[in-house]
Amino acid sequence: MKKILVTGGTGYIGSHTVVELINSGYKIVIADNLTNSKIEVLDRIEKITGIKPQFEKLDISDSKATKAFFETNNDIELVIHFAAYKAVGESVQKPLMYYQNNLNSLMNILTEMSRHNIENLIFSSSCTVYGQPDILPVTEQSPIKKADSPYGNTKQVAEEIISDTIFSNKNLKSIALRYFNPIGAHKSALIGELPIGVPNNLIPFVTQTVAGKREQLSVFGNNYNTEDGTAIRDYIHVVDLAQAHLVATERLLDKNNKLDFETFNIGTGRGNSVLEVINTFEEVTGEKINYKIAPRRLGDIEKVWADTTFANKELGWKAKLSLADALLSAWNWEKTQ
């Protein structure tokens, strides 16, 4: 059997996806430069699945190194491209670093896929491409709004690069998965989101506050046009998200499918406010969160959640795990840190 290349496979979403792929019998090679993940993740994956995936330390934004990698790994059938920088705020401070890493990596992958006749690509996109949608829940047909950050722009431009490349190379097919807000960790608590510095995202901030690493959580804004005044997002369990990659893999490898480029919303279809997240966390863990209401965070949108009809029907995929499941798993992961 040929292999699946998972770039960024030691990272948060990548590691959970590798577990699902191995459990379904796929052979994996991970390429990651470990800028935002640790090599120990490989042992953790082995503990969960019984198999240690092949690993290559590689900077995919380096075209020469990537070319050499594809020359020695000539049995790749499909690429899942996670490798990217993802911190929205940092991208505003260091836009070129984000454009260089995220876009050069993608172009190197597409170049080598074309050179080696590799036909299948799954790309990590984001609901950030929608900005604040005019109509909710947001469908894949909603207009792409001007990106709020260089990071968001890398995802918009990346989708265009893939679409243009497919137009010129009829052998290539791709699925872009637009993730909503991934949270939680594997039930084993052996893999999860690596906390580096002060977290920007809500859930790591919540768990670190309860663990005593942060003093107090700030709830950014309680004067939004929502029921309780706090902002609404579609929080998806990372294991559900990982499974979406599995079904996307099967769809691409199905020779009867004549697709070229498809985009899917990968969310739960449910929106939850920040206060709902806090209350659910407290209920499910029995822990109290020290929080205060603070001003709105610059650049935040009011509300977004996914219309997942297309993914449900076409991919045959649906998020199964609840917000409570996800928050409990995030807390169990935090306790191991």
Catalytic residue annotation: 151
DSSP bridge partners of 236: 182
Shortest separation between residue 100's beta carbon and ligand WQD, angstroms: 18
Task: Please answer whether residues 128 and 152 qualify as being in contact, where contact means their C-beta atoms are separated by less than 8 angstroms.
Answer: yes
CA distance 32 to 72: 16
| 6 vs 217 by CB, closer to ligand WQD | 217
Rounded to a whole number of angstroms, the minimum distance from the CB of residue 300 to ligand WQD is 5
Stretch that binds ligand NAD, among 56-64, 132-140, 167-175, 283-291 (CB under 6 A): 56-64
Q: Could you tell which of ligand NAD, ligand WQD, none binds residue 217, using a CB distance below 5 to 8 A set by kind?
A: ligand WQD
Work out whether 319 is an interface residue with ligand NAD (CB under 6 A): no
Question: What are the backbone angles phi and psi of residue 262, rounded to the nearest 5°?
Answer: -125, 145
**What is the rounded CA–CA span in Å between residue 319 and residue 220?**
27
Total binding residues toward ligand NAD, as defined by CB under 6 A: 28
**Which span sits near ligand NAD by CB under 6 A: 35-43, 111-119, 227-235, 289-297?**
35-43
Residue 32 or 307 with smaller CB distance to ligand NAD: 32
Residue found under tokens 């995929």: 317
Return the number of the residue (101 or 226) whose C-beta is nearest ligand NAD. Answer: 101
Q: How far is CA 6 from the centre of its chain?
A: 13
The entry of ligand NAD, ligand WQD, none that residue 237 binds, CB within 5 to 8 Å by partner kind: none
Binding ligand NAD by CB under 6 A: which of 53, 131, 150, 182?
182
Residues at the contact surface with ligand WQD, assessed by CB under 6 A: 86, 88, 126, 128, 181, 200-202, 205, 217-220, 231, 233, 274, 297, 300
Q: Which residue has the tokens 């002060």?
A: 198
Tokens, residue 58: 């590689």
> Is beta strand 181-183 parallel, antiparallel or unpaired with respect to 173-179?
unpaired
Cβ–Cβ < 8 Å for 236, 179: yes
179 forms part of the interface with ligand NAD (CB under 6 A) = yes
Answer for the pair 18, 28: CB distance below 8 angstroms, yes or no.
Answer: yes
Number of Cβ atoms within 10 Å of the Cβ of 118: 21
- Which residues of this chain interact with ligand NAD, rule CB under 6 A? 7-8, 10-14, 32-37, 58-61, 82-86, 101, 105, 124, 126, 179, 182
